[in-house]
């Protein structure tokens, strides 16, 4: 069940759009674009970042529009708002917790789920006093295809 990151983003976007449909939120081209940007972004953008990225495509969109749409997404549980001190909120597309194994030969990325790691955040918070927003873990190795090539 390997798939590339592009495919994974596409799946997540599709799920998000399905959720919008189920909750009766109209999917406007702007909403679609904002969601797509969030799904593809690994950096937890601010409303302003999203606005700057999309203003070329939607000249009549304002930062307020972006923010209002993000609020809608947050209320239906698609996005979480991360606040760091007094800087602008950043927005994070909520995915189910999963981790990546990355092949060092062909760069293939495979997802796997490992629920046991949820406690890592609580532990980190307990030990350091940090308010933890998320964690990421990447595991590197060689995929079966590349390992088999070595044998022949």
Binding residues for Fe cation: 135
Residues comprising the binding site for Zn(2+)? 103, 106, 143, 146
Q: Is residue 103 classed as helix, strand or coil in its secondary structure?
A: strand
Report strand pairing: 138-141 vs 90-93.
unpaired
Chain position carrying tokens 């980190």: 124
**48 contacts 63 by C-beta, under 8 angstroms:** yes
Task: Output DSSP code: residue 139.
Answer: E
Chain position carrying tokens 């629920």: 115
* Category of 44 on φ-ψ map: left (φ > 0), alpha (ψ -120 to 50) or beta: left
Report strand pairing: 79-82 vs 90-93.
antiparallel
Phi, psi for 136 (deg, rounded to 5) = -140, 150
Residues comprising the binding site? 103, 106, 135, 143, 146
């Amino acid at each position: 069940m390997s798939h590339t990151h592009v495919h994974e983003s596409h799946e997540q976007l599709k799920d998000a759009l399905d959720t919008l449909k189920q909750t009766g939120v109209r999917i406007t081209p702007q909403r679609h674009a904002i969601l797509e940007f969030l799904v593809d972004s690994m950096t937890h953008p601010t409303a302003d970042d999203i606005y700057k990225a999309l203003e070329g495509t939607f000249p009549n969109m304002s930062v307020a529009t972006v923010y209002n749409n993000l609020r809608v997404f947050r209320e239906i549980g698609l996005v979480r708002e991360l606040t760091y001190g007094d800087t602008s909120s950043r927005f994070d597309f909520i995915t189910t917790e999963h981790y990546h194994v990355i092949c060092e030969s062909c760069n293939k990325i495979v997802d796997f789920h490992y629920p046991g790691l949820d406690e890592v955040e609580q532990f980190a918070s307990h030990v350091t006093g940090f308010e933890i927003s998320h964690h990421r873990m990447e595991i590197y190795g060689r995929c079966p295809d590349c390992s088999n090539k070595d044998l022949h």
